[in-house]
Amino acid sequence: MPHKVIESRLLAVSQARKILESIGEENLDQFQRRTLEYTRKFSKIDAEAAEEIIKRLVEEYELSEEEAVEIVNCMPKSIDELRTFLAGGRRIVEASKLKSIIDFLNKYR
């Protein structure tokens, strides 16, 4: 039976894990179970922390939601790693702002 899309939005891996776990593994199809397995393996933080970090990255650091989700999924540890997520290098972000973001992320590790 085909599924109907009710809502579409960006999610961090840990947020997807929370949703799939709330459905219950016994109620998931094979693809969803594989996705759940993936999310369990690659979630860096819990869903609530991910949501908070994304919100703050967008509001306080003026990042796009896409950038914020990717940053949360990978939780970069250095300024060089962080730069790879910021608009493909097409914009210049001050080093002090990048350091501030890394310091902020470090609070959730």
Distance CA 35, CA 81 (A): 26
Total of domains in the chain: 1
The answer to the question of residue 31 being in a domain is no
The answer to the question of residue 38 being in a domain is no
Residues 6+ apart with CB under 8 A from 27: none
Query: What's the pLDDT score for residue 2?
Result: 73
Each residue of 53-97: pLDDT tens digit? 999 999 999 999 999 999 999 999 999 999 989 866 677 889 999
Exposure letters 66-95 (e unless 16+ CB within 10 A, then b): ebbbbbbbbbbeeeeebbebbeeeeeebee
Contact of 17 with 40, CB cutoff 8 Å: yes
- What's the pTM value of the predicted model, to 2 decimals? 0.89
- Structural domain containing residue 67: 47-106
The answer to the question of residue 37 being in a domain is no
- Residue 45 reports pLDDT greater than 90: yes
The answer to the question of residue 89 being in a domain is yes
The answer to the question of residue 25 being in a domain is no
The answer to the question of residue 13 being in a domain is no
Write the single-letter amino acid at 50: A
The pLDDT-based confidence of 4 (bands split at 50, 70, 90) is confident
